[in-house]
Structure 1
Amino acid sequence: MRADLHVHTHASSKPVYPALKRLGCPECFSAPERVYEMARARGMDFVAVTDHDTIDGAMELVERGCDGVIVGEEVTVHFPEDQCRLHVLVWGISPEQHEQIETLGLRKDVYAFSDWLREQKLAHALAHPLCAQNGRLTREKLERCFLLFDAFETLNGAHTTWRQRELVERLLDSLTDAKLTALAARYGMAAPAPGSSRKARTGGSDDHAMLSLARTWTGVPLLERERMVSPEVFLRRLMAGRGVPGGAEASAAGVAHQVATVGAHFYSKRFHEGADAHTQALASRLARFAGVEARRPTRKELWIEAIRRRTPLSRRRSLPLTRALRECLPQALEAFPDLRSRLTPDADGPPMGEHERMAELFDSLAPKLATALAPELSRALRKGDRAGVADVAMSFAVMAAAQAPHVGMLFYQNKERRLLDELERSLDGARGEREEPARGLRVAVFTDTLGDVNGVARFVRDMAGQAEASGRELHVFTSTRVNVEPGPNIHCFEPVLARKIPRYEHLEVVAPPVTAMLRRVDALQPDIVHVSTPGPVGMTGLLAAKMLRAPVVGVHHTDFPAYVRMLFDDAALGQAAAKLLGLMYERFSTVLTRTRGSIESVEALGVERSRIRAFTPGVDVETFHTRRADPAVWRGCAGVSPTSVKVLSIGRVSVEKNMPLLEKAWRKAHTELVARGVEAELIVVGDGPHRKRMEKALRGRGAHFLGFRHGEELSAIYASSDVFVFPSETDTLGQVALEAQASGLPVLVSDRGGPREVVEDGVTGLVLPGDDAERWAGAIVEMVVDGERRRRMGADAHLHAQQYSRERSFQDYWMAHVEAWRGAGVREEAVATPASLWRSRPLTPAR
């Protein structure tokens, strides 16, 4: 026998969610008779209606003579000492008993309410036990609840996530009579009766919109030869511990769709009739996704509205989003025939009831809409049409607002995260210094660059690979149109919108699908969020950390203020960039640097020294190795001589990488080398806005620009060259300097920035003034001419690089996250009872 033991009707008229409360919107519009019909149609033997603090909805069904109705109520009660709010489901309650709750003042005193429940022998359960109604639920309050209530709702279709369900089950399984007796003594409460540790368990949908109704339930087995029992027998067996919760767990998408459906009902009743015909047409179509019937205008009304909008004095105009929706929604629905079939009135619930599929539809629709709106924005900007720009901006704002319920519910479902962590630790027997979770630490890395050819992308890929190889849980989140090599811990999302960066056409700035990324990271439930870059994806990481109440760690990969200052030759812009980066780092619990010299740079951004930590840089010493040398690699590089001494530069060809200095230095060096009769060439791998100018300036001077090279070819180019030059003053490490040394090349680096720390001056390379082209030219000539010195320094460079293995770097990197996680936890005060009191027995299935 099955019953959905947690269902609402329009009698739950007081809004619970703050957004609905501000609008004066009821929390439910479901008619009791429709709730009854759908519950029975979906296989429920009994229909329990549990409206908030009222039994009016259930009594409507009783008065209509409906069979199998369980009169219930979701009662709001409080701890008198601090007003911590609880919701308790009560079933089989009579109108007289409902009145007693009010007249006896039981809502204000949960202790008195508990005594009353037992006196009245009413079936009950603490609803969604780990959901903090007003932010005051604590471990101590939950321990008191184990003494106060005989049943717990372990599966709630709107609030119980997989983690919450597992945790509640573990807590209940860990209870013993002795433990309850110890709790009663600690809190000065009445000693529990023998056998009180065996708590009944229930499940219900907590449906407010007829979307999840009867998708979560409680089953009670029948005895042999029984075909049916009365509601009273069902409840009696339930309280005896024979109930088995079943069905769907909660999802943020499901709750968001319930809120959106309630909002659609509210719009249709309050605003729809006053809207113009075009708005009614679109709204009525969209409302069908929520199962809301809204009046559709006639063709005549639409025709008249179209004429009105064309009149010169009319101020009515459709948003570009309206046109985009008409065009894109049918296209998107083609991939979701199951949702399209639910738009018919006779379907088993509207499309909104298929929560995951609707989320997928929205994810596929958003990029289509953004792509359709982008040309409208470009056209309006080109024509100087301010109204047109405002319309497109409003369209994007409406798209963002449409995601608000989804994002809001993700935040809402994670509001108890710290309480869950505390309970989990108590069950695992943790004590003293904050230890890693029993399952191991879980880290989510957010990066704007992963498939690109740069040091940051290579570093993130290396760390992801090392994590997988060592069994650590590190997941990388990015959003890009660049091809990203797939992996079990790589999560790449299609951007909502992507545009080339002016002057950096090989790079893109993207608008990531924020909601989809937050849903994925919510399912992962990481302990630490790592923000690798300060772009849109990095900002999404900060939002995820706020949602999860998780500490933030990041690496200061790039000196962006210096980049901006050099790129635009504007000190004020550089200062503004420093201010913004400092504001971002305020949210970080730890800022990592890959060299010690970068610590001062981070401090200059306003970060306290105690929050900055340097960790060991790393390089793939197998991929970048002297044995990768292959002279044949030059055959694929047009114009490169196989016999020349090759001076190699790898990286972005741009002003902020100090490439103008290398341009000047090579001009002088090449002139000197030609005069000495020495054949030498400059090999530039990479691309960037300065490339064309540099190519033109060095034409006929032995310079070859190869563009991007990857994989084995790149390794061979490194190892088959002779000298490496890297004049950047803005890099915090310069990964290429490590890769060159591992490949057996002496390296020339600037005396500013991080690369100088990974070079032994005079042993594995030279550290030179970053603004002295003469010194660079002289050093290049010396290295090219003195082959013996060059080879000796190259051999020393190869040996020097071995200490920077990826394995060693990853271990240091991982420990930095462990330390940050420990430091972020508030030291718990010693409790009167040892933590072992809550150590759980092995997890058992729901009874």
Structure 2
Amino acid sequence: MRIVDVNEFYSPTGGGVRSYLDRKMAIMSELGHQQIVIAPGREERVEERPGGARIHFVKSPGIPFDSNYGLFWDAAPIHALLDHYQPDVVENVAPWRSAAIVADWKGHALRSWFMHNDNLETYPKRWFGRVASEATIERMFGWYDRYMAGWLERFDTVVTNGPVLTERLRARGLRIDATMTLGIEREHFSPTLRSPALRAAMLEQCGLPEDAYLLIGVGRHHPEKRWPMVIDAARRAGTRLPVGLVLLGLGPDTRTLERHIAESPHVRMFHPIYHRGQLASIMASADAFIHGCSNETFGLVASEALASGLPLIVPDRGGAAAVAQPAFAELYRHGDAYDCARAIVALASRDQSLVRRAAGIAAPKVWSDREHAQSLVAHYQALIDARGAVSRSA
């Protein structure tokens, strides 16, 4: 099967979508399929990957407010590439220009809209959540759901990256045909990587002894991640018991966060760890994973933490909440630093051997990216077969 993803969210310096597609291209090749990505770029170029996968960058204008990403404009070069590649499936992920380009293409490939996010949740609900109810915001921005519904009707299938996004969109009346839960590179993460020496070293960097409680947070420094709230919660919990917080990440809010923790001797920030084995060891060596973002539709980092055997402290909505279970996690009211502090103290006060044992039992059950890819291909193949059966009977 040849799948071409016309993807305005892909960027060499991007985040989750880039990571997902880089891994998906490799897995598809291993499974005997070909994944091609058509993405906006600063110049026209092709980046070949092993096994026949490739990224075809089409010179396109950038987004004014985020230099990492671009937007397609002219449909002609995209249509020419689709005519050249003749895919079995053409995927779209963005609700902007690419939606029209894919829908208007004259080819016969199966058209799939793969939902990675919910813009209504990510932007208006975050911006106006303090001054208006969710129902009010949804009424104010009802035009967006109507806009989406119109485009979705022009696609053969609409799939989401997990049950949280499916539930949100269906509740607003949008069509979803299948839920294809994302997975992680499970082979890198394991509770067996826990290192008492590494844990002690991280606590020492936080200015704390080995009997303190070590939290780890991983993610981009962006307002939607709510790191200031997490830092404030760790500080408040620190008045009840010794708590160290290690944050791994970079982003537009890095300077702001550095100022925010200037008076916090037990909070340390480090650059992202891109080596999967090193990240897995660091995760497994903490006492709990803490997360602030409630807008995410899939708890990728929370799943990696759980696969490392880590108990979780996460908000009560979003992708991370879908990963959490009472045996190894504490939920808190999203955006509430006081309740997050309560959750930290509550988890730290539980029998740690029992909590870690429960997380360890759940660790090998975390869905893998290979399982996700196999399920997605099976979904596409069933639709293609059904279409062929209808054509033969006509």
TM over 0.5: yes
* Greater mean deviation of Cα atoms: 565-574 or 644-653: 565-574
Distance 1:525 1:511, change over 3 A: closer
Identify the residue that residue 794 of structure 1 maps to in structure 2.
Answer: 356
**Which of residues 24, 41, 49 is equivalent to 1:463?**
24
**Which of residues 203, 217, 239 is equivalent to 1:649?**
217
Distance 1:698 1:531, change over 3 A: same
Equivalent AA in structure 2 for residue 561 of structure 1: L
Distance 1:573 1:633, change over 3 A: farther
Task: Report if the CA contact (8 A) 1:594-1:617 is conserved.
Answer: yes
Distance 1:795 1:767, change over 3 A: same
Identify the residue that residue 727 of structure 1 maps to in structure 2.
Answer: 292
Distance 1:801 1:479, change over 3 A: farther
**Which of residues 698, 708, 717 is equivalent to 2:272?**
708
**Which of residues 754, 772, 778 is equivalent to 2:319?**
754
| 1:584, distance to aligned residue in structure 2 (A) | 3.4
**Which of residues 538, 555, 559 is equivalent to 2:114?**
555
- Please list the CA deviations of residues 147-194 of structure 1 after superposition, one character each: whole Å capped at 9, or x if unmatched: xxxxxxxxxxxxxxxxxxxxxxxxxxxxxxxxxxxxxxxxxxxxxxxx
| 1:525, distance to aligned residue in structure 2 (A) | 0.5
- Please list the CA deviations of residues 136-155 of structure 1 after superposition, one character each: whole Å capped at 9, or x if unmatched: xxxxxxxxxxxxxxxxxxxx
Aligned equivalents of 2:263 and 2:48: distance in 1?
38
Which runs of structure 2 are paired with 1:12-51 in the superposition (5 Å)?
Answer: none
Equivalent AA in structure 2 for residue 772 of structure 1: D
Aligned equivalents of 1:755 and 1:557: distance in 2?
15
Q: Secondary structure of 1:622's match? A: helix
| 1:532, distance to aligned residue in structure 2 (A) | 2.9
Which runs of structure 2 are paired with 1:750-789 in the superposition (5 Å)?
Answer: 750-760=315-325, 762-784=326-348, 786=350, 788-789=351-352
Q: Secondary structure of 2:69's match? A: strand
**Which of residues 355, 364, 368 is equivalent to 1:805?**
368
Which runs of structure 2 are paired with 1:92-111 in the superposition (5 Å)?
Answer: none
Are residues 1:821 and 2:391 paired? no
Identify the residue that residue 224 of structure 1 maps to in structure 2.
Answer: none
Aligned equivalents of 2:48 and 2:327: distance in 1?
37
More strand by share: 2
| 1:742, distance to aligned residue in structure 2 (A) | 0.8
Which runs of structure 2 are paired with 1:13-412 in the superposition (5 Å)?
Answer: none
Task: Report if the CA contact (8 A) 1:451-1:485 is conserved.
Answer: no
Task: Report if the CA contact (8 A) 2:116-2:160 is conserved.
Answer: yes
- Please list the CA deviations of residues 789-825 of structure 1 after superposition, one character each: whole Å capped at 9, or x if unmatched: 2x54334334324231223222212112223334555
Distance 1:599 1:730, change over 3 A: same
Q: Secondary structure of 2:391's match? A: coil
Are residues 1:595 and 2:158 paired? no
Q: Secondary structure of 1:799's match? A: helix
| 1:472, distance to aligned residue in structure 2 (A) | 1.9
| 1:471, distance to aligned residue in structure 2 (A) | 0.8
Q: Secondary structure of 2:238's match? A: helix
| 1:753, distance to aligned residue in structure 2 (A) | 2.3
| 1:629, distance to aligned residue in structure 2 (A) | 4.5
Identify the residue that residue 531 of structure 1 maps to in structure 2.
Answer: 92
Number of residue-to-residue matches in the alignment: 376
Distance 1:692 1:738, change over 3 A: same
Q: Secondary structure of 2:309's match? A: coil
Equivalent AA in structure 2 for residue 696 of structure 1: R
Aligned equivalents of 1:687 and 1:768: distance in 2?
25
Identify the residue that residue 399 of structure 1 maps to in structure 2.
Answer: none
- Among the aligned pairs, what percent are the same residue? 21
Distance 1:470 1:451, change over 3 A: same
Aligned equivalents of 2:48 and 2:312: distance in 1?
30
Distance 1:461 1:535, change over 3 A: farther
Task: Report if the CA contact (8 A) 2:39-2:57 is conserved.
Answer: yes
Distance 1:478 1:782, change over 3 A: same
Distance 1:650 1:814, change over 3 A: same
Distance 1:706 1:533, change over 3 A: farther
Aligned equivalents of 2:257 and 2:102: distance in 1?
39
Which entry has the higher C-alpha Rg, 1 or 2?
Answer: 1
Which runs of structure 2 are paired with 1:323-722 in the superposition (5 Å)?
Answer: 441-447=1-7, 448-449=9-10, 451-452=12-13, 454-480=15-41, 486-487=49-50, 488-493=52-57, 495-499=59-63, 501=65, 507-511=68-72, 515-534=76-95, 538-539=98-99, 542=102, 546-569=105-128, 571=137, 574-608=141-175, 611-629=176-194, 639-640=205-206, 643=210, 645-673=213-241, 678=242, 680-701=243-264, 702-712=266-276, 713-722=278-287
| 1:735, distance to aligned residue in structure 2 (A) | 0.9
Identify the residue that residue 134 of structure 2 maps to in structure 1.
Answer: none
Equivalent AA in structure 2 for residue 821 of structure 1: I
- Please list the CA deviations of residues 211-234 of structure 1 after superposition, one character each: whole Å capped at 9, or x if unmatched: xxxxxxxxxxxxxxxxxxxxxxxx
Distance 1:635 1:574, change over 3 A: farther
Identify the residue that residue 302 of structure 1 maps to in structure 2.
Answer: none
Distance 1:550 1:485, change over 3 A: closer
| 1:526, distance to aligned residue in structure 2 (A) | 0.7
| 1:593, distance to aligned residue in structure 2 (A) | 2.2
Identify the residue that residue 305 of structure 1 maps to in structure 2.
Answer: none
Aligned equivalents of 1:640 and 1:535: distance in 2?
44
Q: Secondary structure of 1:814's match? A: helix
Give 5+ residue unaligned stretches, structure 2. 130-136
Task: Report if the CA contact (8 A) 1:443-1:530 is conserved.
Answer: yes
Distance 1:704 1:553, change over 3 A: same
Equivalent AA in structure 2 for residue 763 of structure 1: A
- Please list the CA deviations of residues 23-68 of structure 1 after superposition, one character each: whole Å capped at 9, or x if unmatched: xxxxxxxxxxxxxxxxxxxxxxxxxxxxxxxxxxxxxxxxxxxxxx
Aligned equivalents of 2:203 and 2:281: distance in 1?
12
Aligned equivalents of 2:227 and 2:141: distance in 1?
19
